Amino acid sequence: DTGVSQNPRHKITKRGQNVTFRCDPISEHNRLYWYRQTLGQGPEFLTYFQNEAQLEKSRLLSDRFSAERPKGSFSTLEIQRTEQGDSAMYLCASSFGGYEKLFFGSGTQLSVL
Amino acid sequence: TQLLEQSPQFLSIQEGENLTVYCNSSSVFSSLQWYRQEPGEGPVLLVTVVTGGEVKKLKRLTFQFGDARKDSSLHITAAQPGDTGLYLCALGDDKIIFGKGTRLHILP
């Protein structure tokens, strides 16, 4: 399967802990996006990369959130000192080029207790 | 800042009925995408519309892009329970943003 892969599928953590999610995009895709989605809402943009360069980060994203794509392939999203409000589905998507079809992974469901 | 609004927010109808959902932007955009999302999964692209006034059909789904390229609609004919899901519109040339979606439930 050469689709977008996200791990883990589910993560339960205690408030104050750090968590890290991984996204493996489709191999030839140079763009990678992270979104956050809460129940009943559309995906909310967090950040995106072209190759290894992080081109934009949402102003809504606090300093506790950081994303990397060190070799222009897989990406990680880390949340430090998690809060209950961080509970959400974190979606990763990839595409080739600019305004192209986004291919999404199945997401990582985060629950902060 | 572009703002995408989708309406209605929720829609529950009987199988076999027709329906239309809408997506509106505060500004002109060059193209727009429609996605469908099922619970526990990521969104899946249905269609991209590019030209003002463009109409695209995907089986029982008809997508229309407004002449002024500020709005779009999705019409479903003879809805089926398998059409149930969250319908999202999205736009952007680099940073792609999504509307809040229309949650559609088709009753058998």
Residue A20 has a pLDDT of 98
Residue B1 has a pLDDT of 52
Q: B89, B96, B86, B74: which is closest to B25 by C-alpha?
A: B89
From chain A, the residues in CB contact with B45 under 8 A are 101-103
Strand B19-25 relative to strand B10-14, pairing: unpaired
Q: Partners of B74 in the beta sheet?
A: B21, B63
In the predicted structure, residue A98 carries a pLDDT above the cut 70: no
Three-state DSSP at B81 gives helix
Per-residue pLDDT band at A99 (split at 50, 70, 90): low
Residue B49 token pair: 């519309």
Nearest residue of A to residue B104, measured between CA atoms:
A40
pLDDT digits (tens, 9 = 90+) for B19-35: 999 999 887 777 889 99
In the predicted structure, residue B93 carries a pLDDT above the cut 80: no
Instruction: Check B43 against A104: CB less than 8 A apart.
Output: yes
* Top-confidence residue, B87 or A61: B87
The number of residues making up chain B comes to: 108
Instruction: Check A106 against B41: CB less than 8 A apart.
Output: yes
Q: pLDDT averaged over chain A?
A: 92
Q: A54, A56, A58, A64: which is closest to A86 by C-alpha?
A: A64
What are the two backbone dihedrals, phi and then psi, of residue B72, each rounded to the nearest 5 degrees?
Answer: -150, 155
